[in-house]
Structure formats: C-alpha cells, structure tokens
Structure 1
C-alpha cells in the first residue's frame, strides 16, 4: 500500500497580513498531481486542516475541492482534526462526504480502525483527533487525563488493545508535540501555553507507521514516526525548511520505504542583511525582488520610514528590523550625568542622540545642521 502523509494545511491562515488561500490552492493542486503520478492508495492529512475554529466560507470551498480532487485520483483520504480545528465544524459534513473520504474528529471512536486491504492483506488505520484533556476526561472516565500527553498515551493504549486482536499492518495518525522534535521558533505555540505538552515517543510503540501533525517542518523521530510539516511557509522561521510530504510504502512485512516528495514554493522566503542604502540599491539583492523579504538593516542609527522605502523595491517585504552591526555597551555614567557635563547646546544635543541612538552621536552633516539651527536660535534671541 502506498500512502502520502501530509498535515497542517492551515487553510485561511495569513502571512504578515497577506492572504495565502490562492497560494495554498496551487500547492494542493500540485500535491494532488503527485498523488496521481505516484499511484497513491491512501492520503493522510494529520490535523490542522483549517487555521481557525471559525473558517470563512472560501476555506470550506478549498477543502471540499481538494478532497474531491484527491478522491478522483483513485486514492482514499483520511483526515483528522488538530488543535487549530474545531472538531465539530470539521466533522459536521463527514457523513455527507463521498465514499472513500473519512474525516475523523470523534474521540469516542479512538481504537476503532478504518481497515483497508491490499495484496498483502489488511491495513488498520487508527485516526486520533486532537485530544483536549478537559473534554476527553468525560469520554474516558476513571482515567487520569490532566495533560495531552496522558490523553494521547491512553488513546494509543486503546489502539494497541484493539490491534492485539487483529492481524495485519497498522498506521496511527495523531496531532501532537512529540518528544525529540525540533520546533520552529515563534510558530508552533509554546508547548504549555498551546496546550500541547510533550508526548513520549514510546507512546507510539507497536505501529508500522505513525503520521504526525503539528510541527511545520519535516521531522524524522524514528524510521516509522514522522512529521510531514506544512505545505506552505507560514513564518520566516521556516525559511530554510523544505515543503513537501512523505510517500510511505507498506509491504507484506510492514514499513517498506519512505520517500520525501518536494512541493513547489509559490514565493520563497529570504532574509536580507545590509545597510538600508545597500538594500535599496545594491544589485546583489535583485533576485529577492519577487520573494517574501525579511530585511535587517545594519545602520548604526534607526532610519526613517524603512518599510515604505524597502517596499518600493521589494514589493513583498513583510518584516523590517533595525540590527546595527555594533551594539553600544552602555557606559557606567547615566544619561543625566552626561547632560550635566555638557558645556554648550551642541554637546547637549549630541548627548541626547547618543542616548536614543544606541550610542551613536551626530555625524558631520548632522553636526553642521545642529550648528546652523543653534546659530539661528542665538540670532533670534538677540534680535527679540
């Protein structure tokens, strides 16, 4: 059986205020083409289908179009809910979906497999929706379920108990933060604040393949335990992480092979670091003019209106930060002390600039301008 493992579509998510729906549609069309070209038997989408519990109507349209297109390739499709999804909203139409598409969102069904057949016999697929401890403790009474790790560990115990009474190969699908994973800074939510505490890798023992979701970059935790990541870049922290999915082959004995299939990147992400003048004029940055740009300008002092000026060249500049090459080490003397030691107005202005510009005083042109202004002030006072 040939399986394509994808996850974290986050339909409806924006990128620094820009809609991503059209870009995601193109990527999912490419994924559908890969399913057809590789004669995939089963597509697994491991949670976070939507980015919000209340997605807009256009998000439902994209999901429906994609599921239908995947099914038309001949593949079956299994979808589970993640922590961003509303299980009720994602699953409400599951009974209306065409044959061969399953949306699994009910924790009461954990441990009940979807069984498919190939030439080697049965393959049991256990879809585990995101398990919120406060909710599932009412489903599984008598079990301590204070954390998501406890909830998922219990779910996998139910899976293994069922699997022990069956013959055949097995796949588990879960949406969690598994031990040993490397998260994307500032993207995957804090493992406690986001409700996704660490799940031990041993929780998934006994399965031929475990398709995980939640982490936006591909990860291999064990040969048969993997994250596929998101199909689009949703953060500059993902800049160097490839986009794609895992093509998994189950043979008669279990896991046969796993291959990475690259997906197209509609608009690459780049981080540019230089002075603002270089960013605006230097030819070496020409290749970035059609990319998503995170600019870090290294001028000693902050520059005026850098975003507007950069977007005149880089129309997709989404983030600007002032990152001077040399950071001033504050002197022991306080600002008030430096002010007291100034001997004239020019030195007073310079002391102020040093204070507010990270240790950088007036340059020659600024000193000349300050001198002119102060001279005009003196003339005005004399003639008043």
Structure 2
C-alpha cells in the first residue's frame, strides 16, 4: 500500500509541487507519463500535474480523459534523413523551446519529467538550468531526446539494466494501477460479455499499437478459418485509421474493433496475445501474465526486439520477425499455442516476476525528491 509523502515535504518554493510531464505523441510515451501522474497524486494529493503535448498527438484525447491539464507546444520531429526539413530544424527548436519555457514559467513548474520523443526535447532544453529535470527511458537503446536530456538531468530512471545513459537508476516502466492490479480471472466473464466474445472459448487478443499494424492485421485475419476450426475466438484491434474485413466461419466470434478503450478488459478477456513489442506493451502484457507472440516493428534501431527478449528468454513469449508473419505462420505457430490451455498456463506462469509492478511510485518518489531540491 502506498504511503503519502508528508505534507511538510514541499517543493523548493515552499508550496505544493507542480510536476510537468512531457510524453506526447504515441501511447508508448503518454501512458507511462499518466501512470506517473496518477502515482504523484496518490503520494501527494495536493500536487498539480501538467502535461505537455502537441495538437496532433494522442495526448489531446488521453490526457483530458484522465483528468489532467494539457498545455500544447509546437512539436520538434527529427528528420530521419538529410533534407530541407533538417535545415529548418534549428528555427523550429528555438521556437518550441521559447514557447515551452513560457508554459513552465506560467505554471511555476518545480520539476520536468520527460519520457522521450518530440515533446520531451523542447521540454528538456526549456528547463535546462532553470527547473530540475528527471528523464525516464523505456527502451534499452535510448532515443535522441533522452540522450540530450540525460546530460543535464537531476535524475535518470530507466526500465532495464544496461541502458547507456549517465546516472541511470533502474525502476521499470510506470504502469496504470488498473493493469498492475488486474485480476484476469475475476473479470473474464464481464470482459467477454463487454466485447461480445464467446464466454467459454480460448481467446486470442490482437493489436498493433495505438494505430494498428497492417502486417499483423493481414496475417491474423487471413488465418480466421484455422482459428475458428480450432475453437479460438479473437478480439482484434485493427487501428482507427484502418479497416478489417474478416470472413465468417462457424465457430467462436472473431470481433474486430478500431481501438481498445478498456485495455484492462481486453487483457482479462484473452488467453494469449499477438502484438508489437514496444516497451510499454511488453511491460503490460508481462504484468498481467499473458502469453505473447511479439512481432517487433521492423523499423528503428531494433529496440522492439530487445524489449521482447527477456520475456522470450523466460519462456513467456515467442518472437516472430515482421517479415515472417503470414497467415500460414499464424496457423502453424499461434493457433496451436492458443488452443492449448496447458501450454498457455505454463507461459503465463513464466511471466510472473518479469517487470517492476511498483515502478510508478518508485519514479514518483524520485520526481518529488527532485522537485524539493
């Protein structure tokens, strides 16, 4: 049970602390920031938490839904290749930093917590030398923004050992309490009714991140007959900007949805999952004890494969490269897994102990200490 921080332990200004979190863009950046925000409010109910974001990110929806104040700043996306956009980058950075600094001054920020991405970089530069900075890196391979922020941060928190950032402290990834306290068995009946799934069939959960993944959509829907023949039901989040047409076969329901508003119920409804292996996804799937078939994003620096490896090594997950994921692969690898309750149980047990269930409050204490300093 969490213990509130004593009221006498206030910010350096002598008032209740104001914590600014910078984690916009994708759910992988936003959700840890919001999990931290929730933990800060549990430990210090009088604290104010303000989120930084941009008008085009998921934060415009997710942050207000969770009850937090959102301040919008200009994004600073980093071009992947030399281009005219790269030449304009210094001016964009300067403008974004200026406007971010105005936000920090207006809200009287006592600490800035960044989770990487194009919202974190201007936040770090705006806070440098003025407001204490705490960096959280979810991946073993740190992104550019966090590499910059870590150079002048008061504290640096990381999800896994071996992350090459200075002064790194391993805390894990902050997760929502609705995930870390989830009782899948107790919620199973309610969850399957919520999604109109077969109440008794082995069930596969499929998703490809907040925007969906076309390769996963095509491969799993292409194996709909094999899944139905094996008595496996499917809950498939295909992405709000994508469509999914699935041929119907006799057997448990195959339920396509654009987006999963209630991930806790989705996890509770499932016996196994096929998904990407972003750091946040791996942490949540492992926390709830779901056997997984991880399909790493084929772009970037290979961090998604690295994220999945501990679960694979523990026997809690399988890893399939994106280029190898086909309907035939799903039929040969995924269907036998989900249809085997004993194997599902063994893999679920193997997930126990992976991750850090108290990462949210561990990071919140680091942040509140930095605010006092």
The structure richer in strand per residue is 1
| TM-score relative to the length of structure 1 | 0.29
Higher relative contact order (CA 8 A, sep 6+): 2
Larger gyration radius, structure 1 or structure 2: 1
TM-score under structure 2 length normalisation: 0.30
